[in-house]
Amino acid sequence: MTDLELATSRTWAEIDLDALEHNAKTLRALLNPSAKFLAVVKANAYGHGSIECARKLQQFGADWLAVATIPEGITLRQNGITLPILCLGQTDTNLAPLMAEYEITQAVGDSQNAKALSDYVASAGKTLRIHIKVDTGMSRTGFYWPDDEAGKISVAREIYEVCNMTGLYAEGLFTHFAVADDDPEFTRLQLRKLLEAEKYLAGLGYKFEILHSAASVGVLNYPEAHLNMGRFGLVLYGYASTETGNEDSDLGLQPVMTVKSRITAVRNLPAGATISYGRTHTLKRDSVIAVLPIGYADGLHRVLSNNYGVKVHGAVCPVLGRVCMDMTMIDVTDIPGVMAGDVATIFDGELMPIAAKNAGTIIHELVCAPSMRVPRVYVENGIMRI
Ligand SMILES: *Cc1c(COP(=O)(O)O)cnc(C)c1O
């Protein structure tokens, strides 16, 4: 048995690197030409495999990559990634030596954090690149930009001090939108606050090289928010909307991930049989039930029990009863000729938005869900490999 056969013997995620490249090209064309292209590959590239995706994006000509943690950045560096890497998450300052060693640019959202990084750098004789985060309304991390004049002056001074700390090079200033998908008024307010922070810093004599604000939906909806860099996450992986996928979009993005599962058994069960834990489904007719080797431990959320359908031979087959840790039952009564060994499509570009809706979540969470147990199989130049 080949490694590829082994990887596709149970449940796997097909990652179409050609689609990733297509999406990157499409998005690059939408971005203000003078702006840099940052590809977000945090969380194992949204579940798609960060090393392979980062390689493809580096080859494509992305300008920057972003991760959420320093270990994520180190993994990329150890696998031949030379692009600038921005760590978006705030990091324990004990990791400063690693930031320096692996040349990872760190987001900084408060003075204490900055001071601790600077102290390390001062003693080690090194320089760290940082991007200063401004909290303009997300209330997560960053220097909170206030509404009153005295407050603005004071926060600007605080940022200015950070920019001048020994060993820190403040290359960027950025913010993150809270409602880029559905509230133009608040989003524009957030953008104005970032630009105001920049202006106050310029007034103090500090100019940033890179000003950035927009993630996927922000780039699509607000050309004025492109500034010097767009941060592309979900759109790169093929979805224009976090909820509806590509339903209302004519961008032609191609979903990169398809999760598949190989049917382990096909069983004839009589009317009245009850399916799975909790006996939440009773067969109304004599039925043909296929058993799928995928469960919530693989990333098929249990909340989809009795509330989802997967594709077999192109037809949608309802999930019956509860999703178990490792197995799930579906109804294939109406699909002739289904056999053990046939492949079911669990998530693809069409199913992902339905799963998100039925699970009460967003596509971001679903693409991140396939677990360590699910091998990623890559398609590049039309050829499948592991
Ligand atoms: C995750 C993240 C992104 C990417 O978000 P998408 O909606 O997937 O494009 C961009 N910026 C920051 C700060 C993030 O944390």
Please give the average pLDDT of every successive group of 10 residues along the chain, which has 386 residues: 98 98 98 98 98 98 98 98 97 96 98 97 94 98 98 98 98 98 97 98 98 97 98 98 93 98 98 98 98 98 98 98 98 98 98 98 98 98 96
Residues marked active site are found at: 42, 277
What count of other Cβ atoms lies within 10 Å of the Cβ of residue 61? 11
Cβ neighbourhood burial of 138 (10 Å; 0-12, 13-18, 19+)? middle
Q: How far is CA 342 from CA 185, 239, 324, in A?
A: 50, 28, 20
Type of residue at 212: H
Residue 269, strand partner residues: 287
Residue 52 in any domain: the answer is: yes
**Do both 191 and 304 map to the same domain?**
no
Residue 77 sits in the same domain as residue 171:
yes
CATH number at residue 217: 3.20.20.10
Phi, psi of 57 (to 5 degrees): -70, -35
How big is the CA angle at 382 (ends 381 and 386), to the nearest 5 degrees? 90
Both 159 and 272 in one domain: the answer is no
Tokens for 127, please give them.
């320089």
Q: How far is the CA of 6 from the centre of ligand 1 (A)?
A: 34
Residues 45 and 158 in one domain: yes
Do 336 and 223 share a structural domain? no
In a domain, 332, yes or no: yes
Bridge-partner residues for 266, per DSSP?
290
Structure letter (DSSP) for residue 33 = T
Is there a single domain that holds both residue 57 and residue 204? yes
In a domain, 11, yes or no: no
Closest by alpha carbon to 213, among 198, 234, 231? Answer: 231
**Separation in Å, CA 78 to CA 50, 63, 101, 375:** 12, 19, 12, 21
CATH number at residue 281: 2.40.37.10
Question: Does any domain span residue 186?
Answer: yes
Classify residue 269: in a domain, yes or no. Answer: yes
Domain boundary, last residue among 237, 265, 295: 237
Contact 21, 379 (CB under 8 A): no
Query: How many domains does the chain divide into?
Result: 2
pLDDT number for residue 189: 98
Q: Percentages helix, strand, coil for the chain, rounded to the nearest 5? A: 35, 25, 40
Pocket lining for ligand 1, CB < 6 angstroms: 40, 42, 88, 176, 215-216, 231-234, 364
- Can you give the pLDDT at residue 260? 98
**Given this model, what pLDDT does residue 223 score?**
97
Instruction: Give residue 222's pLDDT.
Output: 98
Tell me the C-alpha distance between 20 and 119, whole Å. Answer: 40
Ligand 1 mean position, distance from CA 17 (Å) = 20
Q: How far is the CA of 349 from the centre of ligand 1 (A)?
A: 20
Residue 203 sits in the same domain as residue 308: no
Residues spanned by the domain of 194? 31-237
- Gyration radius from the chain CA atoms: 24
Residue 243, in any domain of the structure: no
Our mutation pick for probing the ligand 1 site, out of 37, 139, 231, counting the most ligand atoms within 8 A of Cβ, is 231
- Nearby residues of 163 by Cβ (< 8 Å), 6 or more positions away: 132, 170, 201, 206
Q: How far is the CA of 300 from the centre of ligand 1 (A)?
A: 23
Index of the ligand 1 atom closest to the CA of residue 88? 13
The partner residues of 380 in beta bridges, in order of sequence, read 383
Residue 62: exposed, middle, or buried by beta-carbon count in 10 A (0-12, 13-18, 19+)?
Answer: buried
Instruction: Enter the pTM of the model.
Output: 0.97
Rounded distance from Cα 346 to ligand 1 centre (Å) = 25
Cα–ligand 1 centroid distance for 3 (angstroms): 34
Nearest C-alpha to atom 8 of ligand 1 is from which residue? 233
Last residue of a domain, one of 204, 237, 270: 237
Nearest CA to ligand 1 atom 1: 233
pLDDT recorded at residue 253: 98
Determine the distance separating the centroid of ligand 1 and the alpha carbon of 176, expressed in angstroms: 8
What six digits make up the tokens of 188? 């524009």
The best mutation among 88, 91, 364 to test binding of ligand 1, ranked by most ligand atoms within 8 Å of the C-beta, falls on: 88
Measured CA to CA, the distance from residue 223 to residue 180 in angstroms comes to: 12
Task: Report how far apart, in Å, the C-alpha atoms of 231 and of each of 180, 219, 240 are.
Answer: 13, 8, 14
Residues 293 and 225 grouped into a single domain: no
In this prediction, residue 21 carries a pLDDT of: 98
97 with 185, same domain: the answer is: yes
- 219 and 89 within one domain: yes
If asked whether residues 233 and 273 sit together in one domain, one would say no
Contact 90, 84 (CB under 8 A): no
Q: Which of 40, 220, 363 to mutate to test the pocket of ligand 1 (most atoms within 8 A of CB)?
A: 40
User: Does one domain contain both 302 and 226?
Assistant: no
182 is a domain residue = yes
Q: Which residues, in sequence order, are CB contacts of 68 under 8 Å at separation 6+?
A: 42, 43, 87, 88, 89
Nearest atom in ligand 1 to 219's CA: 9
The confidence score (pLDDT) of residue 42 equals 98
Judge whether 85 lies within some domain: yes
For residue 180, the ligand 1 atom closest to its alpha carbon is 7
pLDDT of residue 284: 98
